[in-house]
Structure 1
């Protein structure tokens, strides 16, 4: 049975296995991984988890997840299968939610399940709607968002690739 957990350094090897399942490049949506992040070394991974992922907030903020975001990893049997992040504040480029499931764990409904869980968290935070953005060519993601109640607000070109913008009323 999968579960959503906050990012943790104890799953370093499992995270690397998940990342390697995607292959080269940065397409692990939901993890917040950038090209500058050192996640291979234990020290770099610990820094990334504690400073960039879990505690991405101003210094001294006592409650980072409540104000800035709720990152979660999709874990089953100590294997990292993917991630989903609820941003408590959104911008038009990233939206409120980002997610990704490793290729070997797809087609099991994990992203739909995780999205439903995070929509519940968004409701609990008092959000009345959330914006979800996916690549225009990602038909599977678009269908999943639509099944969750997403209403297409438009397809926009960006510097990288066209994206679909969906709003889900809570």
Structure 2
């Protein structure tokens, strides 16, 4: 199954809604840049949201993880450091987890960070999210610390961006 990272597009409205429905209610699709005020159900609202994501391209690179026209997840590279969420956030729809998609997508977005001449990036994941920690570590992440937050503890990882990581 060929996989690719693509910029958000209105062409994939229906597949995006299918992925969104699989996550269930709430705003937990990390990597999609979804805000509580975004109307993604209507064609017009979805088009506005996609336009907003693409307009932020000088501040963040948002990409959808797609296999055969099916959206499997999203990943976002913030060009400036956000101490709470880090430089990179990603999420994989529940039915697509465990197949290495996040590891692959993170490797791809790290290449984009190198193009932007970023020296290192911060990634933050829930302390109890072993799968995300493994994804980050596979891509060269070094644990800085586990830090308490108002909701639950998080792990903070740094990835140094020298040569591409295998």
TM-score range, shorter chain: over 0.9
Cα displacement string for residues 1-49 of structure 1 (whole angstroms, at most 9, x for unaligned residues)? 1100000011001100001111122110000112221100111111111
Candidates 91, 101, 110, aligned match of 2:92: 101
Let me know the Cα RMSD of the aligned residues: 0.9
Q: Give 5+ residue unaligned stretches, structure 2.
A: 162-166
Cα displacement string for residues 53-103 of structure 1 (whole angstroms, at most 9, x for unaligned residues)? 1113xxxxxxxx2x3111000011111110001111111111110000100
Q: Structure 1 CA distance, aligned partners of 2:70 and 2:117?
A: 32
Residue 109 of structure 2: aligned partner: 118
Runs of 4+ in 1 over 2 A off after TM superposition: none
Q: Structure 2 CA distance, aligned partners of 1:54 and 1:161?
A: 31
Instruction: Find out whether 1:45 has 2:36 as its counterpart.
Output: no
**Mapping for residues 1-170 of structure 1, pairs under 5 Å:** 1-51=2-52, 53-56=53-56, 65=57, 67-170=58-161
Q: Aligned pairs, how many?
A: 160
**SS of the residue aligned with 2:73?**
strand
Q: Give 5+ residue unaligned stretches, structure 1.
A: 57-64
Q: Structure 2 CA distance, aligned partners of 1:153 and 1:103?
A: 28
Q: Structure 1 CA distance, aligned partners of 2:97 and 2:54?
A: 25
**SS of the residue aligned with 1:140?**
helix
- TM-score norm. by structure 2 comes to 0.93
